[in-house]
Amino acid sequence: MYVRFPEGAAKRTDPAATTDVLYDAVIVGGGIAGAIIASRLSAAGKSVLILEAGPGEDLTLKGYEGYLDRFYSATSKDNQSPYPVVPNAPMPRGTDARRIFPGSPDASAYIVQSGPFATDTTYTRVLGGTTMHWEAKTPRMLPEDFRMRTLYGEGADWPLTYDDLAPYYNEAEREIGVSADVEDQTYLGVEFDEGYVFPMKGLPLSYLDQMVAKDVNGMPVELDGVTRELRVRPWPQGRNGIPNPAYNGGKGYVPQGAVSTYQVEVGGRCQGNNNCVPICPVQAKYNAGKTLAAALQSDLVHLVAQAVAYNVHIDEHTRRVTEIEYRHYDQPDSPGFTTLRARGRLFILAANAVENPRLMLASGLHGSSGLMGRNFMDHAYLLAWALLPEVAGTFRGTNCTGGITDLRGGRFRRHQAAFSVDIHNDGWGWARGAPMTDLIDLVDAGGRYGEALRQGLVDRVSRQLQLAFMVEVPANPSNRITVDPAFTDHLGNMRPILTYDIPDYTMRGVAYARQLSKRIFARLGAEDHTEYDPNFWGYAVYAGEGYEIRGGNHLAGTHMMGRDPSTSVVDADQRCWDYQNLYLVGGGSMPTVSTSNVTLTVAALCLRSAQAMLTQLDAESAAINITSKAAAQSRPQEVAR
Amino acid sequence: MTAHSFKEFLLLSVDLTAFEETDLLGTGLAHQYLAKVRDACGEGVVTALLGAHRAARADAAGDAESPDRTLLDRALRHRIFSDDRLGPVARNVIKLWYAGMWYGLPPEWTDCYEARTAAETSTVTAASYQEGLLWRAIAANPPGAKAPGYGSWAQPPRIEARYLKEATQ
Ligand SMILES: Cc1cc2nc3c(=O)[nH]c(=O)nc-3n(C[C@H](O)[C@H](O)[C@H](O)COP(=O)(O)OP(=O)(O)OC[C@H]3O[C@@H](n4cnc5c(N)ncnc54)[C@H](O)[C@@H]3O)c2cc1C
Ligand code: SF4
């Protein structure tokens, strides 16, 4: 399939004219969650308005090339480096994280962090959202992840089961375009429909993975009385591989290519650029622009970019949202903006697990359960790094092709957190800034040049092995997003304040992970170089040992779904218990983050919710009066600075 | 910028990087790199660096065409790498070729030799990152460019045997 991002689609809707339109649905956020819902509602003939905080030109060819150029030229190639700084719709950056000292929150960056634990977790506020720079690992959750409270007495149960979600996982794998093989992904209770195959065949394991597998496969691990054998397993990936002819009962699958340009050499198969984070140069990797481009082919989908939702207005009598007030800024950095309003039958917040509760709380909507913004979850990453005895050719392939998943589930979760393990094809890049730091060290401290430098580089870089343990963090109401009028951004929006601590349950998993890494390195004959710096912003001590803990970018929990309105914010359809026509969608709805990267599950949940929205739209056809008391005046304004 | 100093800069770069002249010219960036060093550190420093390299080569000149490696190594250490003014610049030239980036020199250096522009870390062009020799040295592609092709990562890296020596010792 080849869909091009329709030229001018981000500009074709006149914001001022939309204020008098009653849309079937108003969606806040043009990331994967918003894009999927927009595409499914419009396909069923419903009119949709997407409000996107970031600038909208980015998915055209020029825009995407601009991202690439900014990345190549950046002196710091951190994971937001391709994306423009937009003071009117700011975003967190991995390099923002600072050590937090008790009693003094760090307000130096967009997310105000009140600690006690600091995080470098990020998301991207551009059209297409955070999938512009995600890594695109797409594992399903395990069946047991939906029943954590019942099975292990930890975390919460979902109002849904794996089987409820399975058909939507299938559909999400089609939408994202997942490359994987069923035989590799069937483990720990994950099952697939009879005859199911993924849209594309699995990406081959890297040479580095294969070297690790030689020694790790078959390694026995005993935990909570159960012995299991480790194995290096390929990850399912949201990037284009070789289409599987058996897909869809033999009809096959046509990969979705680049949407911002004609497909000459771009948009095809993953070429192994090893740059999936922060940006795939050829769009082999899925980004939500692909879903948006398809949705915007329909005239029913309107998009207003540079539109930051500011306030959700409700009618206390009808218990319905009446309108969303937003600020439409003139230029990314200018203080000029116009206040506008969007009206619809349904309102869908798809701005992610930090921005959804931020907007609700800034609108004074704390939820009758008081849980809005609470139970913030993410993954806690622990890295361990070593040098293999032989050259493994590190720094080739996608960021990560293989990992170890055998400790994602099991009875031990009664006592300690589960984790999955990534084998990083980009060496010690994440832990220690390799390979540039190695180069600098060899030249400046090692006095190397010429042949000795070349040998030194191969010796130091091409043998690198970095394991990343992605450890689960259970829901805890005191880990939360709040707002405070004392902290606002340029446009006058209240900024998110994050209060976050890592529970002991997770730290037990972290400590176990470190022990396991030592065993793995010993089995490989690798030199362990792991050393945790007490001055690191995410340094955490547990049982006398210190660890560097990093953020996972897998935001969840802040508007948790449940069966009971007093202990959850949304129902299984992601519909807000308090307001009949309001949906809060995305990772925020997830009651457990468990050990899978969240986006495939977010996509599946949104595909499921789209059905509920269509049912609701068809059931509710009463006339809605769109002149409300709270209606904001549309007039140009300036932010007082 | 004279053609002569460009030639000398290339010769110096070959000794510093252990990549052949054709490889260096093949990046298309040699002229810009020389200009970068000049802009950052000033003409005087460049002249002195090239002069010191010429002298080192002379120290090492054997009878044959190519210099005596052991003598050259020693002369480079004595004349360039241990020199307060030239050492940091030579190391920066290496990093420029390998990373495509000029790393800011410390204030001690810039204050002493009155070349404040040298203190700023900057890329030369968007292309310079992609042409960094580091990636070739480890038989990888610069992340985000020069993609090696689907599945290539499953094969062993193509690193010349002589560079594997140290690793397998
Ligand atoms: C470095 C990195 C690597 C990752 N790797 C993986 C991975 O391998 N696998 C995986 O599953 N997940 C991964 N993730 C996470 C993944 O990117 C997110 O889970 C996913 O993109 C969330 O989608 P979303 O649509 O819910 O939110 P987002 O993608 O964040 O989209 C939200 C949208 O809403 C807009 N918005 C925000 N506030 C407002 C407002 N007030 N008004 C209007 N619009 C607004 C934003 O601009 C944005 O477009 C990664 C994330 C990062 C940062
Ligand atoms: S390895 Fe490269 S081509 Fe493949 S998805 Fe990542 S950046 Fe794109």
A480 forms beta bridges with A499
Quick one: what percent of chain A has pLDDT higher than 90?
78
Q: Is A488 on the interface with B (CB under 8 A)?
A: no
Q: For residues B75, B79, B84 and B90, what is the CA-based torsion angle, rounded to 10 degrees?
A: -70
Peptide bond into A116 cis (omega under 30): yes
- Highest mean pLDDT (candidates A21-35, A78-92, A618-632): A21-35
Residue B26 pLDDT exceeds 50: yes
> Is A636 a residue whose pLDDT tops 70?
no
- The label of the residue with tokens 């010769």 reads B11
Query: Contact at 8 Å (CB) between A313 and A325?
Result: yes
Cβ–Cβ < 8 Å for B37, B89: yes
| pLDDT category of residue A641 using cuts at 50, 70 and 90 | very low
Q: How far is the CA of A34 from the centre of ligand 1 (A)?
A: 10
- Min mean pLDDT across A254-263, A267-276, A395-404, A595-604 is at A254-263
> Measured from the CB, is residue A554 less than 6 Å from ligand 1?
yes
Of A74, A207, A401, the CB nearest to B156: A207
Indicate whether A589 belongs to any domain: yes
User: Please, which residues bridge with residue A226 across strands?
Assistant: A223
Whether A473 maps to a domain, the answer reads yes
Q: How far apart are CA A516 and CA A522, in angstroms?
A: 10
Question: Is the confidence at residue B118, as pLDDT, over 60?
Answer: yes
Q: Is the CB of A270 under 6 A from ligand 2?
A: yes
pLDDT at B167: 47
Checking if the pLDDT of A356 tops 80, the result is yes
| Cβ atoms of residues A412 and A223 within 8 Å | yes
- Least confident among A108-112, A384-388, B165-169: B165-169
Alpha carbon of A359: minimum distance to chain B alpha carbons (Å): 35
Question: Which of A205, A425, A435 is the closest to B138 by Cβ?
Answer: A435
Q: Which amino acid belongs to residue A8?
A: G
ipTM of the complex: 0.96
Beta-carbon contacts of A504 under 8 Å, excluding residues fewer than 6 positions away, are A542
Q: A271 CA to chain B: closest CA distance, Å?
A: 4
The residue nearest atom 5 of ligand 2, judged by CA position, is: A285
Query: Is residue A6 domain-resident?
Result: no
pLDDT above 90 covers a percentage of chain B that reads: 66
Mean pLDDT for A553-581 is 97
**Looking at chain B, which residue has its C-alpha nearest residue A461?**
B138
- The tokens of A48 are what? 């949709």
> Is residue A37 predicted with pLDDT exceeding 80?
yes
> B134 vs chain A: nearest CA distance in angstroms?
8
C-alpha A153: how far from chain center? 27
Contact B147 A394 (CB under 8 A): no
* pLDDT tens per residue, range A188-231: 999 999 999 999 999 999 999 999 999 999 999 999 999 999 99
Residue A629: predicted pLDDT: 45
DSSP state of B29: -
CB of A550 shorter than 6 A to ligand 1: no
Residues of chain B in contact with residue A392, where contact means CB-CB under 8 angstroms, are: 157
CATH code at A499? 3.50.50.60
Q: Rounded to 10 degrees, what is the CA torsion of A87, A89, A92, A98?
A: 40
Distances (CA, A) of A8 to A60, A83, A126, A294: 8, 20, 16, 14
CB contact at 8 A, A216 and A388? no
Residue B64: what pLDDT? 65
**What is the reported pLDDT for B49?**
98
In DSSP terms, which residues pair with A23 in a beta bridge?
A: A344
Chain A residues touching B103 at Cβ < 8 A = 440
Looking at the DSSP bridge assignments, the partners of residue A383 are A468
Least confident of A55-64, B44-53, B63-72, B159-168: A55-64
**pLDDT mean across residues, chain A:** 92
- Write down the pLDDT at residue A4: 66
- Looking at per-residue pLDDT, the higher value among A282 and A357 belongs to A357
Does position B15 have pLDDT exceeding 60, yes or no?
yes
For range B68-87, the mean pLDDT? 96
Q: Is the pLDDT of residue A262 over 60?
A: no
Cα separation of A424 and B22, whole Å?
34
In a domain, A4, yes or no: no
Give chain B positions within 8 Å (CB) of A73: 123, 125-126, 129
Which of A467, A396, A422, A343 is CA-nearest to residue A24? Answer: A343
The whole-number pLDDT of residue A265 equals 43
B99: nearest CA partner in chain A: A436
List, in sequence order, every beta strand (DSSP E) within A109-159.
112-116
**Does residue A2 belong to any structural domain of this protein?**
no
Q: What is the mean pLDDT of chain B?
A: 90
Residue with CA nearest ligand 1 atom 35:
A29
Q: How far apart are alpha carbons A167 and B10 in whole angstroms?
A: 62
Kindly indicate the confidence band of residue A626, based on its pLDDT and cuts at 50, 70 and 90: low
DSSP, res A496: P
Question: Within its chain, how far is the Cα of B55 from the centroid?
Answer: 18
Q: What range defines the domain where residue A157 resides?
A: 15-618
Alpha-helical regions (H) of chain B: 3-17, 21-26, 30-41, 43-60, 69-76, 86-99, 107-113, 126-130, 133-137, 161-168
Is the CB of residue A498 less than 8 Å from the CB of residue A119? yes
Ligand 1 binding pocket mutation candidate from A134, A304, A325, A597 (most atoms within 8 A of CB): A134
| CA atoms B45, B46, B50, B51: torsion sign | negative
More confident residue, A242 or A75: A242
Q: For residue A624, tell me if it sits in a domain.
A: no
Contact B147 A71 (CB under 8 A): no
pLDDT of residue B1: 53
CB < 8 Å to A71, chain B = 144
Cα–Cα distance for residue pair B74/B80, rounded to 1 Å: 10
Q: Checking phi first, is residue A55 left (phi over 0); if not, alpha (psi -120 to 50) or beta?
A: beta
Q: Is A274 in the pocket of ligand 2 (CB under 6 A)?
A: yes
Name which residue leads in pLDDT, B116 or A3.
B116
Prior bond of A435 cis (ω within 30°): yes
Q: What is the pLDDT of residue A260?
A: 58
Work out the pLDDT band at B3, boundaries 50, 70, 90.
confident
- Using the predicted structure, report yes or no on whether residue A263 has a pLDDT greater than 50: no
Segment A416-470, tens digit of pLDDT? 999 999 999 999 999 999 999 999 999 999 999 999 999 999 999 999 999 999 9
Residue A91 lies inside a defined structural domain of this protein: yes
Residue A635, pLDDT above cutoff 90: no
The pLDDT score that the predictor gives to residue A171 is: 98
CB pairs A-B closer than 8 Å: 163
Number of structural domains (chain A) is 1
DSSP class of residue B117 equals G
Ligand 2 probe mutation, A208, A265, A273, most atoms within 8 A of CB: A273
Q: Which phi and psi angles does A502 have, rounded to 5°?
A: -95, 120
Burial class (CB in 10 A: 0-12, 13-18, 19+), A389: middle
Q: Say if A610 falls within a structural domain.
A: yes
For ligand 1, is residue A358 a contact (CB within 6 Å)?
no
Q: How far apart are the first and last CA of chain A?
A: 48
Cα–Cα dist B150/A468, whole Å: 24
Which residue in chain A has the smallest CA separation from B139? Answer: A393
Q: In this structure, are strands A301-304 and A48-51 parallel, antiparallel, or unpaired?
A: parallel
- Which of these, A499, A120, A91, lies nearest to A308 by C-alpha position? A91
How many residues belong to chain B?
A: 169
Q: What is the largest CA-CA distance in chain A?
A: 78
pLDDT attached to residue A395:
94
Please give the model's pTM, rounded to 2 decimal places. 0.94
pLDDT at A86: 86
**A401 CB less than 6 Å from ligand 2?**
no
Please tell me the distance from the alpha carbon of residue A444 to that of residue A147, in angstroms, as a whole number: 54
Q: Please name the residues in contact with A470: beta carbons below 8 A apart, sequence gap of 6 or more.
A: A379, A380, A381, A419, A420, A421, A422, A552, A595, A597
What's the pLDDT band for B154 if we cut at 50, 70, 90? very high
